[in-house]
Structure formats: C-alpha cells, structure tokens
Amino acid sequence: MTHRVAACYSIADLRELARRRLPRAVFDFYDGGAEDERTLAGNSLAFERWHLAPRVLVDVAGASTGCNLLGAPAGMPAAIAPTGAAGFGCRGADLALARAAAKMGIAYTLSSSATTSIETIAEKAPGRLWFQAYVLRNQDFFWQLIERARRAEYEALVITVDLPVGGKRERDFRNHFSIPFRFTPRNMLDFASRPRWAIDMLLRGMPVMENLRGLEAAATNATAIASSVGRSYDPSFDWARLAEVRERWPRKLIVKGVSRGDDARRLAMMGVDAIVVSNHGGRQLDGAIPSLLALPEVLQGVAGRLPVLVDGGVRRGADIAKALALGAQGVLLGRATLFGAVAAGDAGAQRALDILHDELLRTMRLCGAPTVTQLSGDLLRPSDPNASWSAYAAAPPAARSASPRAHRTPDLVNP
C-alpha cells in the first residue's frame, strides 16, 4: 500500500485509491452529497470561477506557508474539518488524521460522530485539537460531550448549525447504507466485492461512534431516514441556546455552517471567536450557495471583527490560495484529507496534507507571494461565470464525478 500512496500525486488520486479499496456503499457515503448533488458540485466549481494573475520578479526563495490561525501558529492556513464515521472506511482513520495534522502543525477537529473517543484523540494525538459538537435533542448528553472536551483540554469548540435535520443522501438509500449497518442482499454483495475491507470488519468487528455510545437506538432501515445521526439532531436549537453555549464554554467558540451576512453579523456581536462558511460539503441542503460564493457576504457581515474560514470543494493548494485571496483567514479540509485516511490510514492522511502543502507553497511562489498574507485580492481575475457554471451545474451527477479538476500533477519536489 505504501508504494500506491507514494504514486498518488493529487487529492483526486487519493480519492481513486479510496474508491478502489472500499465497498461502493462506504465510498459513496463519504463521496456523495444530498439529492441531485448540485451544491456538492458547485463547491468545487466556485474555485474555477477565479483565475490567478501572478506577480513576477518577486523574491520567493524563502517563501513559507506558516501563519497564525485563531491566535496560534499553524504550518499552513488550514485545519482538518470534522468528518464523521471515518473508521468505517479504515480502522483508526480519525487518529491518522489527528496525527497528520499535528505533524503538519495545524488543528484537527474531532467530530461528535467519530469512531475514536474524545479522550483517546487527546492522549494519542496531542496537538491543536478542536471538538465539533452536533446539537442534540438529548441536551444532557450534549452538555456531557462538551464537558468531556473541556476536561480533555480541547482548544476550541465547533458548533455546527446548518443541519436541524439530516440531508437526503440518495446514494445511501440506493446502496442500502445506514449506520449501524443493516445487511441486505445488495450491500452484502457490495461488501464481499472488497474482501480485504470485509475480512477486517468481520474479524475485528464494525467500529462504533465512540462519543455517541448510549445516545439512542439505531434506525430499522436505510430508506426510512436521511441520516442515522440526523434523528438525534435538535431542530429547536436557536440563538438563545447558542448564547448559552457561549456562556458555558470558556475557550474559543467556532460556529460552522454560516452562509449569510446577517447571521455572521449577529454571531460577531454575540462574541463567537470564528465563523466557518460552510454548506456541510453539499451533504445537507441541495441548492445551497457554494461556500466560496457566500464568503464575501459573510466577510462583509463580520466587518473584520473575527476570523472567517471556509470549507467545501478544496482539492488543490491553489484553492487554498484563492480562498485566502478572497479574504478567508484559512480553510477547513474535509474530503481532501478524508480520502487519504480511508485509502491508506496514517500514510494516506499524511500524503494528503503533503500534497496540499506542496501545492500551496508552489502556488505562492508562482504567484509572487512569499507569505500567506500576500495572497491578496489583486491576484485574482474573474472568469466568465455564466457559460461554464451553467453547463457544469446542469450536468447529471454521474457526469460531474469525472471533474476536469481531477488531473495528475508532477511528483512532489521542492518548488
């Protein structure tokens, strides 16, 4: 497997490695979005609406991706996003992501629905740790999770606010996929088609969402629900409840899932420490505005009062550069690093970060920006947004899966 990881030169290559290794149902759970997947496609396409206009004759010999992110040094302007159920793809994937993040010097966000516990991550992958808490109907359980993160010395709490209910992920329905797994003739054949994955799960047992043990019973079938954890979300969570979280959590509070300027302005006035512009990777509301397109309005809403990060569709180092040039302080990496972790564990997670770091540094040098603070708006030029956007967004999901962005790059060398 090591040589296969070394032969991956892009995030698209790691995605393909994961696709070949995993049963279709498991891969589609990670790869897919809601309904027609237009928001999923739009997140990536939004980056294509901008071209880079590089400065020349700039000394970039000492270029560095190092920066300050949310009050602490970071190896690059990024953090690992919360990605739930990673262990179903590769046992120990959560730890692999956390260790790779620590090695790169960036923050790792543990999902409430991770297959590794809050305490285990803190013990085995020390670094900058953030904990993402879904808002749950069981409020006692919700506060217990937050208290566990506080006791484990997590630096920040991330509250996800964009899913009062789970999204309608039709790939999961068609694959008879649910968590916990419900075995049907269709998915049994699917699982058997990947014997190495299946044998490990049979011999060692299916992972569980460690932080949600005891929350509630599982669903009875895959087609009755849009998301198994989604049954537990609290649709009544509102501004007053978020204010209570702000009052009770003593450290940095990050709110994830914002796409409107008026909401961003109100969050800034409330005293949150950062906002993540996000549509949950296109997994919730299909037709939602792509995150990069929502970024300018959110920035205008906060008016410089707090840092704004963005996620969704980041697959290249140049995407990170474009997000920063548009005003974000950093990005969250979701599928980009998850593909590496579920494809090859520690080696895959590290390879994903190495690829993105290399590409970002190369982009900075080619653009005449020796520091991330010099990735400014004057480097960007808009493309024609209409023809390419409408043609791509109108394509069916199967056609969009072979995005023109998925091409190979030269081997990783010092640029």
338-361 tens-digit pLDDT: 999 999 999 999 999 999 999 999
Residue 121: predicted pLDDT: 97
Catalytic residue among 51, 176, 280, 407: 280
Question: What pLDDT score does 259 carry?
Answer: 98
| CATH code of the domain containing 311 | 3.20.20.70
Domain that holds residue 132: 2-169+228-379
pLDDT at residue 388, rounded to an integer: 44
- What confidence score (pLDDT) does residue 385 get? 55
Report the predicted TM-score, pTM, of the whole model to 2 decimal places: 0.89
Residue 112: what are its φ and ψ, rounded to 5°? -55, -35
The reply to whether 333 falls in a domain is yes
pLDDT digits (tens, 9 = 90+) for 239-272: 999 999 999 999 999 999 999 999 999 999 999 9
Examine residue 414 and state whether it is found in any structural domain, yes or no: no
What is d(CA 132, CA 313) in angstroms, rounded to the nearest whole number? Answer: 20
Q: pLDDT under 50 in the chain at which residues?
A: 217-228, 387-415
201 assigned to some structural domain? no
Would 388 be classed as within a structural domain? no
Question: How confident is the model at residue 180, as a pLDDT?
Answer: 67
Write down the pLDDT at residue 207.
Answer: 87
- Within 10 Å of residue 210's Cβ, how many Cβ atoms? 17
Is 175 among the domain residues? no
407 a catalytic residue:
no
Q: Is residue 400 part of a domain?
A: no
Question: Is 384 part of a structural domain of the chain?
Answer: no
Task: Classify residue 178: in a domain, yes or no.
Answer: no
Pairing of strands 72-74, 78-80: unpaired
Give whole-number Cα distances, 167 to 113, 231, 304, 379, in Å.
15, 11, 32, 36
Say what the pLDDT of residue 395 is.
41
Q: Tokens at residue 57, please?
A: 């004759």
Number of domains in the chain: 1
